[in-house]
Structure 1
Amino acid sequence: MLKVEDVHVYYGAIHALKGISLEVPQGQIVTLIGANGAGKTSTLNTICGLLKPKSGRVVFEGKDITGLATPEIVKMGLTQVPEGRRIFANMPVYENLELGAFLNKNKSEVAESMEHVYNRFPRLRERKNQLAGSLSGGEQQMLAMGRALMSKPRLLLLDEPSMGLSPILVKEIFSIIKELNEQGTTILLVEQNAKMALSIAHRGYVVETGRIVLAGDARELLESPEVKKAYLGG
C-alpha cells in the first residue's frame, strides 16, 4: 500500500533521513521504533507531504506522491495523527471533529462520519460540546484519532499515540488501534513504547540516526537481543 524508497531529507545542513526505505502492506500494522530524534517523525512528515525529500520517493497505492501538497495526500486516503495531538483547545469537541472532514463538502457524509467516530469513542459523544482543551490526555488522544478518522483514511499514520498517558490509557489506546486495523484501516505507527508497539504490529522497523538498522516480523523483533537491549530494558 505504501512504499518509501531511499528517502533523504535535510533540515538546512542537517542530514535527518539518510536513505530510509520501508513498506506498509495493505491491512497491516507496521511500526517504526527508535529513540527520540532518530528520524521517526521526519519519516511520517515526509510521507504526508509536510517535508519535501531531497531525493527518493514515496509511493501510495501505486501512485508517486512525493512532493504533493498535504491536502492532496489526505484526499487520496492517507491521514496523520500528529505527535502531541495538536487539537484546537479553544474549540468544542464537535468542531475539532468537523475540521477533520474539511475537504468533504457533503454534509450528510460528514454527519455519518461523525456518528461513526462517536460510536467508536463514546466519551467524545458525552463531551461533544466541551472545549477540547478541558479533556484529559487520553480523551485528547481519542479526539485527535477521531478527527483523523473523519476523512475516512485507508492508511492512518500515528505519531506517538501513547505519549504522556497513564499505563491504563496506553492499553486502551492500543486496543483501539488494533480494532481500527481489524476493521480494515492500514496503520503506520511511530512509538517510543517499543514493547506495546511490537506486541500489536505485524512488522517493525528500527530507526537510528536517520537510518533503518533492523527490520522484520514484529514478533521476531520483540525477541531480538539488540531490540531487547536497546528498547525493552534488557
Structure 2
Amino acid sequence: MLKIDNLELNYGVIRALKGITMEVNEGEIVTLIGANGAGKSSTLKAISGIEKIKSGSITFMEENLHRKSAQDIVKRGISHVPEGRRIFPGLTVLENLEMGAYLRKDKEGIRQDLKMVYERFPILEARSKQDAATLSGGEQQMLAMGRALMSRPKLLLLDEPSMGLAPILVREIFSIIKDIKKQGTTVLLVEQNARMALSIADRAYVMETGSIVLSGSGEELASSKDIQKAYLGG
C-alpha cells in the first residue's frame, strides 16, 4: 500500500531523515518507535505532504506522491492526525468533524460517517455544540481522530495519540486504534509509549537519528532484550 524508498528530508543543514526505506501493507498497524528527534514525526509529515522531501520516493497505492500537495494526498486516501491534536478552537465539535470532510461532496455519505464517528466516540455527540477548545485532552484526541476518519482514509497516520493522557485514556485510545484497523483502515502509528504501540502493531520500525536501525513484528521487537532495555524500561 505505502512504500518509502531511500527518503531524505532536511531542515536547513539538519538531516532529519537519512535515506529511510520502509513499507506499510494494507490492513496492518505499523508503528515507528524511537527517542525524541529520531525522525518519526518527520516521516509522517513527509508522507502527508506537510514537509517537502529532499530525495527518495513515497509511493501510495502504486502512485508516486512526489510534488503532490497535502490536499491532493488527502484526496488519495491518507489522513494525518498530528502531534498535539491541532483541533480548531473557536469551532464546535461538529464543525471540526465537518472540516474533516471538506473535500467530499457526498452529503449522505458524510451524514453516515458522522453517525459512525458519534457511535465510536459517544462523548463527541454529547459535546457536539461545544467549542472544541473546551474539551479535555482525551476528548480532543478523540475529536482529532474522528475528524481524520471523516475523510474516509485508506491510511491513517497517527502522531503520538497517547501524549499527555491518563493511563486509562491511553488504553481506551489504543483500543480504538485496534477497532479502526478491524473496520478496514490501515494505520501508521508514531508513539512514545513503545510498550503499548508494540502490543497492537503487526510490524514495527525502530528509528535513531533519522535512520531505521531495526524492524520486525511487534511481538519480536517487544521481546527483544535490546528494545526492552532501550525503550521499555526493562
For residues 9 and 205 of structure 1, what CA distance do their matches in structure 2 show?
A: 18
Counterpart of 1:181, as a letter, is K
Residue in 2 that maps onto 1:107: 107
Which residue of structure 2 aligns with residue 73 of structure 1?
A: 73
In 1, the alpha carbon distance for the partners of 2:77 and 2:53 equals: 21
- Which residue is 1:151 aligned to? 151
Q: TM-score, normalised by structure 2?
A: 0.98
Q: Aligned AA for 1:119?
A: E
Structure 2 CA distance for aligned equivalents of residues 30 and 179 of structure 1: 14
Name the structure 1 match of 2:6.
6
Which stretches of structure 1, 4 residues or more, deviate above 3 A after TM superposition? none
TM-score by length of 1: 0.98
Distance 1:78 1:176 in 2: 18
Instruction: Give distance in 1, aligned partners of 2:207 and 2:47.
Output: 16
Report how far residue 93 of structure 1 moved: 0.1
**% identity of equivalent residues:** 61
Q: Which amino acid aligns with 2:163?
A: M
Number of the residue aligned with 2:202: 202
Q: Which residue of 2 aligns with 1:229?
A: 229
Whichever residue aligns with residue 49 of structure 1, its letter is: G
What stretches of structure 1 of length at least 5 have no aligned partner? none
Letter in 2 for 1:29: I
Superposition RMSD in Å: 0.7
Q: Is the 8 A contact 1:53 1:67 kept in 2?
A: no
Q: How far did residue 106 of structure 1 move? A: 2.8
Aligned letter for 1:76?
R
The answer to whether residue 140 in structure 2 is matched with residue 134 in structure 1 is: no
AA aligned to 2:81 is: V
Q: Secondary structure at the match of 1:43?
A: helix
Amino acid at match of 2:215: A
Tell me which residue corresponds to 1:61: 61
* Residue 20 of structure 1 pairs with residue 15 of structure 2: no
- The number of residues matched between the two structures is 234
The answer as to 2:125 corresponding to 1:125 is yes
